[in-house]
Structure formats: structure tokens, C-alpha cells
């Protein structure tokens, strides 16, 4: 299966943004979804695991969810800060391996 994300999103500081991740085949609920943040020039870090669990040290402005009706997962970031500007990737698994979405570039302006 393929995970499809919007190429880019843009929002102002203090606002809320949601990034989607749509699964092409099979149920989004069948396998957990993770979200990773990658700032320019840095390695990725995990933000959300198992659909909605925040990784250690991640502020509660970040939240994850899944929606079976649209077969998609979402990452929501509230109270946007300029430091949130980064690429975000969703990831799920099939038998024995992982699958990444194409990534979404978040611009905070």
C-alpha cells in the first residue's frame, strides 16, 4: 500500500494545522501509524507513535488520530511555533517492513 500526504502546508504562528496521511489500500486501522519530524539538515525524530501516543519530550501541542471513514491518519499541531517548521512523514507497516508517506513540508509564516 501507499501512504499519500499533501506536498506542503502553510499556516501562521499560533494557529492550528492538520497534516493528512491517506492509505491507498487496506484499512488505516489495520496497522499503527507513526509521525516523524525532520528539520532541515537533521535526522528525523519520532513525534507520534501508535496512532496517537506522543514520544517522550514532545509537547502536547502535537496530537495524532486516525479516521476510518476517510482511511487516513492525521497529525495536528496547535499553537504553531516557528520551530515547528519542518518536514513531517507518516509511517505504517506491512508484513515485516515499514512504509513511509511522501512527506509534507510545513511552513510557519
Partner 1 sequence: EVQLVQSGTEVKKPGESLKISCKGSGYSFTSSWIGWVRQMPGKGLEWMGIVYPGDSDSRYSPSFQGQVTISADKSINTAYLQWSSLKASDTAMYYCARVIAKAIDHFYMDVWGKGTTVIVSS
Using the rule CB under 8 A, is 49 a contact of partner 1? yes
Question: Torsions phi, psi of 73, nearest 5?
Answer: -110, 160
Q: Quick one: 90 or 108, whose CB is closer to partner 1?
A: 90
Q: Pattern of binders to partner 1 over 75-94, x per CB under 8 A? A: ------------x-x-x-xx
**Total number of residues that touch partner 1 (CB under 8 A):** 27
Q: Pattern of binders to partner 1 over 7-46, x per CB under 8 A? A: -----------------------xxx-x-x-x----xxxx
Question: Torsions phi, psi of 28, nearest 5?
Answer: -60, -25
In sequence order, which ranges of the chain are alpha helices (DSSP H)? none
CB 86 within 8 A of CB 38: yes
Sequence-separated (6 or more) residues with CB below 8 Å from residue 42: none
Binding site for partner 1 (CB under 8 A): 30-32, 34, 36, 38, 43-46, 49-50, 55, 87, 89, 91, 93-103
Amino acid at each position: 500500500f501507499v501512504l499519500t500526504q499533501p506536498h506542503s502546508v502553510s499556516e501562521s504562528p499560533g494557529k492550528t494545522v492538520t497534516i493528512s496521511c491517506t492509505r491507498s489500500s487496506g484499512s488505516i486501522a489495520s496497522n499503527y501509524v507513526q509521525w516523524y519530524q525532520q528539520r532541515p539538515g537533521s535526522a528525523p525524530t519520532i513525534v507520534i507513535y501508535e496512532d496517537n501516543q506522543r514520544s517522550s519530550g514532545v509537547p502536547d501541542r502535537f496530537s495524532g488520530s486516525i479516521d476510518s471513514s476517510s482511511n487516513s491518519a492525521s497529525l495536528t499541531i496547535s499553537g504553531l511555533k516557528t520551530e515547528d517548521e519542518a518536514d513531517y512523514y507518516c509511517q505504517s507497516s506491512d508484513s515485516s517492513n515499514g512504509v513511509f508517506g511522501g512527506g509534507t513540508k510545513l511552513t510557519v509564516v
